[in-house]
Amino acid sequence: MLISLPKALLDERMRPGDPYFNYCHWPYDPPNPGTGKLRPSVLLFRAIADMPHGEWVRQIVQAIQRGIGDFRSVYGIKQIDGQWALEIYIYDYARQDRIVSIERLVDVCAGQLALPKTANAKIPYFMFSFDLTEQAAAQNGTLDSVHVYIGNPGSEVSSGIAYEFTSQGRQLENFYFFFNAMRHEQEIKDKMQCSVFFESWNFPIEDLYRPELKQCRTICLANKRTCDTIYFSGVDVDQLLFFLRWQRYPDAFTQFIDARRSQLDHLLYDVGVDYRVINGGLEFTKHGIYGIF
């Protein structure tokens, strides 16, 4: 570990009545009783311990928890080129009647975060996210951009659109499409192949649409500017461990989870990979694990 965290953060426990949410902040029923077992935030703090700017990140995360409450925020702990990255997602499905807005988050962080002037409050966004980078830490919490998500009506498939807002303006980032993992297998395969970043004739689709992971609850496919993404939502702890080994997460992080498997089997996890095909070969550009805190 690069920093020393308070031990309590790596041993936080579920209490009676604590909620269970996935990475879309949709509720789910836990597969096993969870009272007294580890909270999903434990994975977040274990990853933070290995980040060079981890102490600053810890302070921000705990400021968010104090400001808007436990189990209200989603984390995405990622590996990019062998390095940790962290994105925070804040949901409020009330849209224009939202309570947790971009401006409120800045206020509750009491000067620890500064986001660019962004989306008008009348835009019906249901979620926004931001990256807690080393650069932001070096800039005393000044973030260069925020990502804003809105709905995408017009299909039987649940869908969303993401835009990036900076001080210079806004631009389209990606589209998301959600499928029932059990009922829509053929539609998932068809959607994956409708992309300039995927060449199914070069390798089996199962190299990406993994049999070990597709037995989950929801599959989300995203079309991004330079790649595509597949998310497996609602995987169990054994599937999570498969994902970590498949995507070569740091051994210490994987071993931390493996050693606590019985204390993490009440949770469902969400995992995803950014990918593209380069010269006929499948390339993974980013890997993420998602949970709530």
| pLDDT band for position 200 (cuts 50, 70, 90) | confident
1: in domain: no
114: in domain: yes
Segment among 153-162, 169-178, 237-246 with least mean pLDDT: 153-162
129: in domain: yes
Stretch 55-82: mean pLDDT, rounded? 96
2: in domain: no
Segment among 31-40, 221-230, 272-281 with least mean pLDDT: 272-281
Please give the tally of structural domains in the chain: 1
Q: What percent of the chain has pLDDT over 70?
A: 99
Q: What is the pLDDT of residues 43-67, one digit of tens each?
A: 999 999 999 999 999 999 999 999 9
> Is residue 50 a contact partner of residue 2, using CB atoms and an 8 Å limit?
yes
Is residue 269's pLDDT more than 90?
yes
For 68, the domain range is: 7-292
Is residue 277's pLDDT more than 70?
yes
Cα end-to-end distance, the chain, whole Å: 21
Q: What's the CA gap between 209 and 211, in Å, rounded?
A: 7
- Mean pLDDT of all residues in the chain? 95
| pLDDT band for position 1 (cuts 50, 70, 90) | low
> Is residue 268 a contact partner of residue 240, using CB atoms and an 8 Å limit?
no
Which residue from 128, 230, 235, 234 is spatially nearest to 177, judged by alpha carbons? 230
Confidence at residue 156, expressed as pLDDT on a 0 to 100 scale: 76
